Amino acid sequence: QQQVKQSPQSLIVQKGGISIINCAYENTAFDYFPWYQQFPGKGPALLIAIRPDVSEKKEGRFTISFNKSAKQFSLHIMDSQPGDSATYFCAASTGGFKTIFGAGTRLFVKA
Amino acid sequence: NAGVTQTPKFRILKIGQSMTLQCTQDMNHNYMYWYRQDPGMGLKLIYYSVGAGITDKGEVPNGYNVSRSTTEDFPLRLELAAPSQTSVYFCASRELAGSDTQYFGPGTRLTVL
């Protein structure tokens, strides 16, 4: 019940395309859903986050869609760029305290 | 601000050796965390601390120990290193109230042979 399931494991997208990464959770007590971006050799960094009282949050080319009833949320990267090539982790936590991470998605954007 | 710093960046240990991974943050954050990252497995919480003198186990604490004597420092101790502890270790911190964002260090890549 503490798991966060993330898919796909890897993703190849053409430059200018839309990248979509999906996550699902079971624990309805989760109240904070961040996405972290990690470049090779670096630590993860917060990209965008959402709370379950809204269904969508957009920051620039990055959008989180949240479906509370289905217990699913997804990251959409519009107009994907080669510089977006990285590993993306979804996560969930209760009170932002102990965070459960998905397994990660390796995104490669072809120029 | 340097943020979260970790030392060393790389380390090779022999089976049975011990070592301490250092983590320091200069943001006056109360919460600190240690994660390990294995390929295709995401990040697993090893130990966490909610303040100086207070620590607790995460998902995968076996084979590790921590201490938190100051707000800034949160070292992770490996006793009797085993090949299963080969991983990349990340330290992170978070402020007590307000944003739930965790700030990660650059990681330590540990190999146990």
Neighbours of B15 (CB within 10 A): 11
Nearest CA in chain A to B101: A46
Best residue of A27, A32, A46 to probe chain B, by most B CBs closer than 10 Å? A46
Residue B101 pLDDT level (bands cut at 50, 70, 90): confident
Say which range, B1-5, B9-13, B18-22, B25-29, has the weakest mean pLDDT: B1-5
Range of the domain at A69: 4-110
- pLDDT computed for residue B96 by the predictor: 73
pLDDT value at position A1? 60
Residues in A lying within 8 Å of B, measured between beta carbons:
6, 9, 32, 34, 41-46, 49, 89, 93, 95-99, 101-104
Q: Suggest the residue from B41, B87, B102, B103 to mutate for an interface test with chain A (most A CBs closer than 10 A).
A: B102
State the pLDDT at residue A96.
64
Residue A58's pLDDT is 97
Distances from the Cα of B42 to the Cα of B50, B67, B90, B99, B109, angstroms: 23, 24, 12, 22, 15
Span B62-86, pLDDT tens digits: 999 999 999 999 999 998 999 999 9
pLDDT exceeds cutoff 90 at B100 = no
pLDDT score at B98: 67
Q: What is the CATH number of the domain that holds A68?
A: 2.60.40.10
pLDDT digits (tens, 9 = 90+) for B39-58: 878 899 999 999 999 999 99
Is residue B94 predicted with pLDDT exceeding 80?
Answer: yes
Given an 8 Å threshold on Cβ–Cβ distance, is B104 in contact with A41? no
A94 to chain B, closest Cα gap in Å = 10
User: What is the domain count for chain A?
Assistant: 1
The answer to whether residue B95 scores a pLDDT higher than 90 is no
CA proximity to A46, closest of A64, A24, A69: A64
Mean pLDDT value of segment B87-113: 91
Asked whether the beta carbons of residue A98 and residue B58 sit closer than 8 angstroms, the reply is yes
pLDDT < 50: residue spans in chain A: none
Find, in chain B, the residue whose alpha carbon is nearest to that of A44.
B104
Chain center to CA of B73: 10
Distance CA A98, CA B45 (A): 8
The beta-carbon neighbor of A44 closest among B31, B48, B104 is: B104
Planar angle of CA A83, A88, A94, nearest 5 degrees: 140
Q: Mind telling me how many Å the CA of B60 is from chain A's nearest CA?
A: 12
Contact yes or no for B95/B29 (Cβ under 8 A): yes
